[in-house]
Structure formats: structure tokens, C-alpha cells
Amino acid sequence: MELYAKLAFIPPTILPLSLKIKNKVDEVLRIATWKAHHNADEGQWSAVAHLLLAEVATWPRAQPLLVIDTQRSRIGPSELYTKMPGDVALIYEESKSCVTSEMTSPSTNTEISKMVDWSMALDLSSSDTDKISKAFTAFNFNECSLNQSLSYVRHSPLFGDLEVKKQHQMRDPAIQIAIWKSAWLKKAIWHQWDTSLPMPAITVEGHTWHWYLFMAAGEGLVMLGPFNMGNTSTLNDIWIILYRLKVLFDWGATTYRGWFDEHILKWAENHDPDAEKGKGKSSTLENQTGALNLSYGE
């Protein structure tokens, strides 16, 4: 898998050194060290993560990218909620073994709607946005989203997500990421979108960063990880985090952008209501399938 290989590899020279980037790395180390010493809360560590995300997102690329605050973007509609225990398989680097998800709750039918802290997204042109908006005019509101949320991010193509927790706490951030990714898979199946592309994610617990890849396995989800991404407690590890963030953002601007053009923009063109009128048939998914049924794996 190309993305896995690039994320796992660390070159002898991490990144071209510039005064601007060096100053940013020094700043991150200083701030992260202070937060660790003072037992900073989750929001404070989230601000550190954003410093690094925002830095790499602005580096020159043909495709403009965004870092979006998704802390208040709940999963929606409710059909995309994960029912616990979920059927996400976890594959850990240490053992390379597949185990049942530990996402447990008192009820076996508890629906979970979780949001994440930050998402990486394509910054679409106005013409691309118009194509998407035009296609969605023929759909019910609950269907009108490019991702797993109906909030202000619904027309943003999200290609990577990050969840933050404070250091020395018991909650596993990978669970929240898995719930979020599971909702995206249900959304893709709903619209009959291609699900072959890996779905990268990052978790941050205080100083410690990990990366993951989620992949569809039929109608279920497999999680590869956690893999060490770096640490904000040393200068060298911050450089490693920046390198791996660059890999993810470059992948989003190239591979994910190509997938988006092939599978989402073409889908939007095929669901242009004016074109559908010419064919004499409705473009809504509900009319095509009779009724929406988003449950799977049960």
C-alpha cells in the first residue's frame, strides 16, 4: 500500500531546513513542554496539534488544502451512527493480529455519534462546489453531504482526521476515530461511492502522536495501527511529525484529489437534475432504491 509505505519511511533528511520552519518547530517544542509540565487539558493540546497541521497545510501545492475545526460537527444523519459494540477490526502494529473491537457499552444497541477535533480537506473551486450543490438539489437534506456530518462541513471533502486527548487519561482516541470513519463508510455505501481508498487518521495524546489507516472490508471497517508518528517532546520527533504530515497532505492533494474527481465529481455530474429531467427519471437515491437502509454488518 503506497500511503502506508510513505508514512512508515523516514528519510535521512527529514525536510529542507528554513528559518521559518525552524522557528515553528522551536515554538511547538516550547509550548508543548509547558503544557506537559502544567498538565494541560485536551483543548490546549488540540491547539498544539493545530499549529503543526496549519503549518504544513499552507505549503505550496497545486491543490489548495484546508484544516477544518470539526469539534462541533456531529455525525449525521442518525442512520450513520455506530451501534455498539461495533464491527471494526483492529490490526495493531505490535502483533499484526486481528482482534475484535473493544468499543463496548452497557447496551449492545447503543447508538454512538462522535465528532473529531480536526479534519484535513480539499479546498474546492467555486465550479466544483457548484457541481456538488446542483447535484444535491434533487436529494433530501439528510443526503446532502460529502462526508459523515450535516454541519457546516457537509460540502467539504475530508481526507484525513485528527482526534486529541490530554496526556495520562484512560479514554482511547482511536475509538472516537473509528466511530467517525465507520460513519463515513456507511455514507459511501449509501451513495454507492467507491470505497477502495484508505482513510488516514491521527491521534494525539499529550506529546504522543500516532497514525492509522482505515480500510473498507466489504461493508465492515478494518483499522491498521497505531503506528508511531512522532512526539512533541523533542526537536527531532517534531520534525518527523512534520514530515509525516507532509506525506498526508501531499497524498490528499494528489491521490485523494484524483479519486474525488473520478468518483465524486462524476457522480455529481451524473446526478445533475437538469440532465436527469432529460432522461425522464428521478435522481434521488430514495426513488432509485425504494427506501434508505443504512444499517450493515448486523
Structure confidence by residue, pLDDT tens digits, 246-263: 999 999 999 999 999 999
Provide the b/e sequence for 62-89 (b: ≥16 CB within 10 Å). Answer: ebebbbbebeebbbbbebbbbbbbbbbb
How high is the pLDDT of residue 273? 77
What is the spatial distance between Cα 76 and Cα 78, in angstroms, rounded to a whole number?
A: 5
pLDDT, averaged across the chain: 82
Report whether pLDDT(45) > 90. yes
Asked if 83 and 109 touch (Cβ cutoff 8 Å), the reply is yes
- Give every CB contact of residue 153 below 8 A, 6+ residues apart in sequence: 68, 70, 73, 119, 121, 147
Percent of the chain with pLDDT over 90: 60
**Rounded-to-integer distance, Cα 206 and Cα 286, Å:** 45
pLDDT-based confidence at 16, cuts 50/70/90?
Answer: low
pLDDT in the model for residue 87: 46
**Percentage, residues of the chain above pLDDT 70:** 79
Identify the pLDDT of residue 285. Answer: 41
Q: What separation in angstroms does the CA of 204 have from each of 101, 169, 207, 211, 230?
A: 20, 12, 7, 9, 10
pLDDT at 77: 82
Give 97's pLDDT tier (boundaries 50, 70, 90): very low
CB 32 within 8 A of CB 207: yes
Phi, psi of 297 (to 5 degrees): 70, 20
Task: Specify the higher pLDDT residue, 22 or 282.
Answer: 22
Say if residue 229's pLDDT is above 90. Answer: yes
Residue 152 or residue 88, greater confidence? 152
Q: Tell me the mean pLDDT in the region 282-298.
A: 39
Q: Is the pLDDT of residue 227 over 90?
A: yes
State the pTM of this model: 0.83
275 and 198 Cβ atoms separated by less than 8 Å: no
- Please say if the pLDDT value at position 14 is more than 80: no
Q: Is residue 237 over pLDDT 70? A: yes
CA distance 19 to 287: 58
Beta strands in the chain (DSSP E): 65-69, 82-84, 88-91, 98-100, 110-112, 118-122, 158-165, 199-205, 208-217, 220-231
What's the rounded Cα separation, in Å, for the pair 195 and 189? 8
